């Protein structure tokens, strides 16, 4: 699959569940901006047929290569980032996975039940990145148990494998050159931003500043038939800075990412 077709498919699925992203992109366009994506992110289950390791060959087949690895000790996550080998204009990709065996006992049978339903050969092509839930809906009780220990696991149990967020490259905006201006525009339009550790994650000194909306909400029907409003996906904004060696920082920062993950928390 062509990389541009891959991202077009991702955007179409993503904006169905996160309509705020389309509205915000349209808002930037109404100010004469061209909206370029810095990166997209996915979440998945480690030790499963859709683990990071199983997904990676699909990204490699499209010309991507891994260039960074991360560990989130408290959240029990591993992550890797990927960039395109030939075209640096293609969005970067951030994939994280949760290690269920490291979560409290109470979570383990719940996650095992979901993973057991994923076909061993689930990963056949790039379409896997918008496959969503590859298992039947969890019960509301199981969802709440997961949420108690891991908002990430709870989110993944309902949303499955799909784009968790797209990210606007602030570097490519003309009228909103600072992240503060972007945040102000969004707040003036009534969008709720992730304020964990402040609205701006990172700093120019770290060569990366990021902010994000709080996730959209969707109706979800649990196994027992109860329909509840839960969080879906969010939109992110990233400003990258030039390093002393003259190159633009192109990776990710654990301390920033750790806070961005909370954009899907049910507050
Ligand atoms: C990923 C959070 C990390 C970033 O840009 O640091 C991230 C997630 O919420 O799944 O996207
Ligand atoms: Ni991100």
Distance, CA 94 to ligand 2 centroid (Å)?
Answer: 7
Q: Express each pLDDT in 131-142 by its tens digit.
A: 999 999 999 999
Please give the Cα distance from 35 to 238 (Å, whole number). Answer: 12
96 lines ligand 1 (CB under 6 A): yes
17 pLDDT exceeds 90?
A: yes
Residue nearest to atom 5 of ligand 1 (CA): 257
Distance, CA 122 to ligand 1 centroid (Å)?
Answer: 24
**Averaged confidence pLDDT in the chain:** 98
Q: Express each pLDDT in 58-85 by its tens digit.
A: 999 999 999 999 999 999 999 999 999 9
Distance, CA 151 to ligand 1 centroid (Å)?
Answer: 14
The b-or-e profile of 107-125 (16+ CB within 10 A means b, else e) is beebbeebbeebeeebbee
Q: What number does the ligand 1 atom closest to the CA of 42 have?
A: 10
Distance, CA 129 to ligand 2 centroid (Å)?
Answer: 16
Q: Is the ipTM of this complex over 0.95?
A: yes
Distance, CA 230 to ligand 1 centroid (Å)?
Answer: 19
Per-residue confidence band for 48, with pLDDT thresholds at 50, 70 and 90: very high
Q: What confidence score (pLDDT) does residue 267 get? A: 72
CATH number of the domain residue 117 falls in:
3.10.180.50
Q: Express each pLDDT in 208-250 by its tens digit.
A: 999 999 999 999 999 999 999 999 999 999 999 999 999 999 9
The tally of domains found in the chain comes to 1
Mutational pocket test of ligand 1: of 18, 68, 96, 249, the residue with most ligand atoms within 8 Å of the beta carbon: 96
256 lines ligand 1 (CB under 6 A): yes
Q: What confidence score (pLDDT) does residue 142 get? A: 98
153 lines ligand 1 (CB under 6 A): no
Residue nearest to atom 8 of ligand 1 (CA): 261
What is the mean predicted confidence (pLDDT) over 144-151? Answer: 98
Q: What confidence score (pLDDT) does residue 3 get? A: 98
166 lines ligand 1 (CB under 6 A): no
Residue nearest to atom 6 of ligand 1 (CA): 257
Expressed as residue numbers, the domain containing 244 is: 3-264
Distance, CA 11 to ligand 1 centroid (Å)?
Answer: 17
Q: What number does the ligand 1 atom closest to the CA of 164 have?
A: 10
Residue nearest to atom 7 of ligand 1 (CA): 257
């Amino acid at each position: 699959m062509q990389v541009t077709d891959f991202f077009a498919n991702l955007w179409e699925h993503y904006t169905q569940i996160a309509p705020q992203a389309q509205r915000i992109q349209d808002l930037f366009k109404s100010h004469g901006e061209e909206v370029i994506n810095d990166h997209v992110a996915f979440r998945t289950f480690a030790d499963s047929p859709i683990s990071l390791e199983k997904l990676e060959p699909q990204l490699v087949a499209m010309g991507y290569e891994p260039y960074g690895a991360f560990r989130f000790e408290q959240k029990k996550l591993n992550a890797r980032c990927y960039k395109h080998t030939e075209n640096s204009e293609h969005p970067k990709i951030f994939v994280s996975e949760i290690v269920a065996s490291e979560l409290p006992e109470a979570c383990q049978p719940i996650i095992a039940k979901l993973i057991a339903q994923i076909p061993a050969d689930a990963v056949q092509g790039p379409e896997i990145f918008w496959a969503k839930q590859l298992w039947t809906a969890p019960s509301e009780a199981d969802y709440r148990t997961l949420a108690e220990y891991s908002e990430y696991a709870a989110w993944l149990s309902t949303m499955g494998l799909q784009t968790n967020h797209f990210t606007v490259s602030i570097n490519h905006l003309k009228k909103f050159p600072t992240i503060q201006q972007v945040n102000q525009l969004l707040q003036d339009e009534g969008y709720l931003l992730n304020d964990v550790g402040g609205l701006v994650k990172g700093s120019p000194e770290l060569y990366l500043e990021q902010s994000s909306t709080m996730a959209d909400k969707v109706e979800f029907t649990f196994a027992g038939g109860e329909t509840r409003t839960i969080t879906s996906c969010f939109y992110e904004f990233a400003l990258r800075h030039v390093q002393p060696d003259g190159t633009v920082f192109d990776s990710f920062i654990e301390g920033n990412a750790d806070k961005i993950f909370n954009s899907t928390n049910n507050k």
